[in-house]
A and B are shown apart, each in its own frame.
Chain A
Amino acid sequence: MSNASDIPFAKTTKYIGAALPRATAKRFLFGRGRYTDDIEVPRMLSAAFLRCPYAHARILAIDTTNARKFPGVHSILTGVDLARICRPWVGTLTHFAGMKSAPQLPLAMEKAVWSGHPIAIVIAETRAQAEDALEAIQVEFVELPAVVDALDGLNEHSALINEAAGDNLIYATQIEAGTIAQAFEDAEIVEADFIFGRHTAVTMEPRSILANFDPSTGRLDVHQSTQTPYQFQDVYARHFNLSEANVRVVAPDVGGSFGMKLHVYHEDMAVVGASIISGRPVKFTADRMESFASDIHARDHRVRARLAVSSEGILRGFDVDDVTGVGPFSTYPRTSVVEGNQVVRLIGAAYRVTDYRAALRVVAQNKNQMSQYRAVGHPVAFAVTEYLVDLAARKVGLDPFEIRRRNYLTQDMYPHTTATGYQIERLSLEICLEKLHEVMDYAAIVAEQERLRRTGVYRGIGIATYVEITNPSPAFYGVGGGHVSAQDGCILKVTQSGEIQCMISVTEQGQGTEAIIAQIVAEAVGTDIATVRVFTGDTDMTPAGGAAWACRGAGVGGETALQAGKKLKKRIVEVAGAILHCPAHHLTLVDGRIVDAQQHTRMTLRELAHLSYFRSDLLPAGRPAELTVAHHHGPSGFPFAFTNGIHGSLVEVDVETGIVKILKHWVVEDCGTVINPLLVEEQIRGGVVQGLGAALFEECRYSASGQLLNGSMADYLVPMACEMPDIEVYHVETPTRDTELGAKGCGEAGTAASSAAALNAVNNALSVFGASITQIPMTPERILRAIGAVG
């Protein structure tokens, strides 16, 4: 436990745990949001990219002569121009032993490796002019055979994407624990082959960057729609050989991110390079089609898995093979293997299973890059696990709730180390299970299901457990050499009128980070929340830190803010003590008032600030009134704070059309200390919608030649309000003892098992036909085929 001061933090309920609306929402409702694309600076140019139309092609020549003459065009840069000033990046980390990935540059050089790979950047007075010029660039391509299906990529005669590597295998790993052969002996065995389609984030605000290089000072100013400004400060400094202190990255309002906006993209590097070369501010905002073709995609797994179960329904062992296709190279700087790695390590994590075998192969393909997206690996791991657990239940004649009851980790088992080596401090699986049983009114919906079945209405009920990785330590990236911070920093200062400004390194993309930080600071300092302002997303202004990734805003950022707040409170009380000639330990701060042991108000924070700033002459000599504090906090103790919860899904399958209607969704979640239930619930609901999108609608479909077939909002179906059910959320609180705040993450929990619950629910509905489906999204065609209605 970190203790910034000797004043114990009393977990009152004034702000921490309070269902407060977030102050920043008002700004958006007033139309006052300010996104990167809203920012205009003098002499700014707009960029547009020429992209490779083929999935895999050699570039013989690029002719920009005519295009340069188009009105408004400032310049056109190709791969060689940018290669002169940009050091290549390689998306590998050393703790993934043996992984290999081709070095990347901002624009394709001799070869383009996916349909959408940028080849040239036009910078012009307007975006429309830049696009006009694009049409006049001539490129001589030789189309090459493309690797589209990941399994084909492993074929020894497959085309090679990265010739230097010798094959298309980016990474492979195996896990073996216990005695797997024995576990499968004399056991009932259930097995399935799963296909998880690719989908993508579809943020409301697309990626956007405005780079402004000043050649006179070497200063690079970047406004970027990102969740990790410090990471980009480091990337731009290192790869463009700039002083890091001279690189400023600002993330203004960000309209959704979900992991998609923390990766290095070719376009962003090209825009920074173009600003350095031209000495002009350059802006690029991806349009929707570019987003589909270049924002990272997610998932893309084929999993073959087996589960051994005893006739009493005791789970004995998992045996898993995952092949995942990640696009032409591994993404930088976090790699594209974390997703698969988490799939093979999270399967079965909630259960008492010690015999475990898994193999992972991460394969290159001529498709858009695949990398971390909300709930990295979790939805795949839990769809596999929970589908098999349901299958096992059916096989041995148990109810889905009962088989989980018999196999979950229980309260007497913590701390617990899973078969795959994850250390778990404490979960509340059984409590959540029983709570879900109650809130779903399980017996009643089962009875209703049976009644309706006799009238030809097929409902399905599915449940799915998750265990989620949150509050990550450097075990994730830092230990592998990744320049990714796992700690966060916070500066608090008292203004001249006694209000509080908080500059913190966790960032806001619409989830309410700033709101919870304000709640924590107000609570820890002992002041009115209306006087606390939180500032995020500017590398010049806040300490450096991890920002937003892997569910850490509340757990890591919150603890940072809490300890900073306690430090500031201690400082304020010391100053007050000096002014009031009273021992500091007799004083405390409540609602912005300095009160003594008798609860009498001795002075206000406003008065204290006034004296400190304007009448320092009145303060005792040698007693500086430092009303600014800084605090940094990085996770220690358990490498991750695991959370848990369970989803329930009720669906109705139209067995004639294959169309699924989701009637209701329930989540019982445990993210430790709940700082603001409204925000936790919105995180869960938003996450559930993304998971249900993956389950039923969202899929990046590719042709056999590697062309993305549905790269528009008309063809790529995101779930809309009409299709989404009511989502009920319930909380169980098991705080982590690694921090004083006790908060774990909740941002990915909604996505982690909602698709698994929907999968189980649809299969529950289909079970009367002896049919099953193990592919998501569960499209009408796939469901009709599963039932046999279409052959």
Chain B
Amino acid sequence: MKCRGFRYCRVLTVEEAVESFVSCEGEARFLAGGQSLLPALNLRLSAPDLLIDISRVEGLRGITLEGSDLRIGALTRHVEVLHSPLVAEYAPLLARAARFVAHPAIRNLGTFGGSLALADPASEFPACVLALNAQIEIAGLSGRRRVAADDYFLGLYETALEPGEILTAVYIPAGRTWQRVCFDELSRRRGDYALAGLAAQATFRDGGEVLTALRLVFCALGSKPMRAQAAEAALLNTKVDAVAIEAAQHALSQDLSPDEAEDLSSAARLHLARVLLGRVAHALREGAC
């Protein structure tokens, strides 16, 4: 298929982008890496009148340390996240997850902000951002605001972004209080969206034996990145031994109730989430992530 005709403009500032969006008669869309938007256009699933290319907007690219936060600009490519020494040091969870995101050709173009703006429930970065307790910076007509990841992901492809707003950056607490992170996923083919994915951040005390803080966020198991608080509770203040892991796996049915997917029943999806939880919890305990 060929996409429907559209107008195109390239903007160089956030203000210009927002301005172009609100003054557009008809439907406008921002274009970042194009790795999700262009396939949608070519399938005629989406047919905006205007594409506003933000890929060269100043200041939206790059990874920096700002005070106690690691700032990742929205236009940072997946490949940059994968290889950044700053990410490896202050947000290693993202570096681990990045290698599960698509294939090299897509990672070379796809953007971190685009992934979060789209909020595909199967995507790795949204789950990580939620596990990392990050802040998401949004720019619109009325200026910039920050939204906690907990309040950002609202539903299926639905976020706190209002029409015409741009996701400009993500701020990740870089205090290094989290001692262990783990990202793992199950997929039938390498590079595919996962059957089940799990991002985890954990702190252990008592010589690294007892788990004292934990955020577990699943991808591909609901309409958005899914925090698993019942499972977290079952593991907190334990030594993450076999009994605790089993309790957490059991508790997972309170956190997740996946729909039947195309070739997986809801029972199988929950089963896979439990298996993954078991593997990730084990890895956290062993520090082998």
Contacts and interface: CB of A to CB of B under 8 A. Distances in A.
Interface of A: 126-128, 131-132, 287, 289, 656-659, 696-697, 699, 701, 709-710, 712, 714-715, 717, 719-720, 722-723, 779-781, 784-785, 789-791
B5 A128 contact: yes
Contacts, number: 69
7 contacts: A127-B2, A131-B4, A132-B4, A657-B275, A709-B262, A780-B264, A781-B265
Interface in B125-158: none
A781 B5 contact: no
Contact of B188 (A127, A132, A287, A717): A717
A710 B262 contact: yes
A654 B265 CA distance: 18
A714 B36 CA distance: 12
Interface of B: 1-5, 43-44, 186, 188-193, 195, 262-265, 267-268, 271-272, 275, 278
Contacts of B195: 657, 780
Given A659-B188, A723-B190, A780 B5 contact: no
A790 B268 contact: yes
A791 B268 CA distance: 9
Given A287-B1, A790-B271, A781 B188 contact: no
A656 B272 CA distance: 8
B1 A289 contact: yes
A784 B268 contact: yes
A780 B1 contact: no
A720 B265 CA distance: 25
A708 B271 CA distance: 27
Contact of B262 (A126, A657, A701, A722): A701
Contacts of B44: 131
B2 A701 contact: no
Contact of B189 (A289, A720, A779, A785): A720
B51 to A, nearest CB: 15
B263 A781 contact: yes
Contacts of A659: 186, 188
Nearest to B262: A709
Given A779-B263, A789-B271, 11 more contacts: A128-B4, A128-B5, A132-B4, A657-B272, A697-B188, A699-B263, A709-B262, A719-B189, A780-B188, A790-B268, A791-B267
Contact of B275 (A287, A656, A710): A656
Contact of B2 (A128, A656, A720, A780): A128
A790 B265 contact: yes
Given A781-B265, A784-B271, A131 B189 contact: no
Nearest to B267: A790
A719 to B, nearest CB: 8
> Sorted from nearest, which 6 A-B pairs have the closest CB atoms?
A128-B2, A722-B190, A656-B275, A781-B268, A790-B268, A790-B271
A124 to B, nearest CB: 11
Given A131-B2, A717-B188, A780 B272 contact: yes
A567 B33 CA distance: 62
A701 B1 contact: no
A719 B191 CA distance: 12
Contacts of B190: 720, 722-723
Contacts of B262: 701, 709-710, 715
Contacts of A697: 188-189
A722 B193 CA distance: 15
Contacts of A709: 262
Contacts of A656: 275, 278
Nearest to B39: A714
Candidate in A656, A712, A722, A779 with the most chain B CB atoms within 10 angstroms: A656
Contacts of B267: 790-791
A456 to B, nearest CB: 13
Contacts of B189: 697, 717, 719-720, 722-723
Contact of A657 (B3, B186, B263): B186
Nearest to B4: A132
A48 to B, nearest CB: 9
Contacts of B268: 658, 780-781, 784-785, 790
A783 to B, nearest CB: 10
A605 B44 CA distance: 61
Nearest to A127: B2
Contacts of A701: 262-263
A137 B50 CA distance: 25
Contacts of A657: 186, 195, 272, 275
A786 B278 CA distance: 22
A789 B267 CA distance: 10
A421 B79 CA distance: 60
A529 B129 CA distance: 62
A127 B186 CA distance: 39
A127 B1 CA distance: 8
A521 B189 CA distance: 43
A197 to B, nearest CB: 11
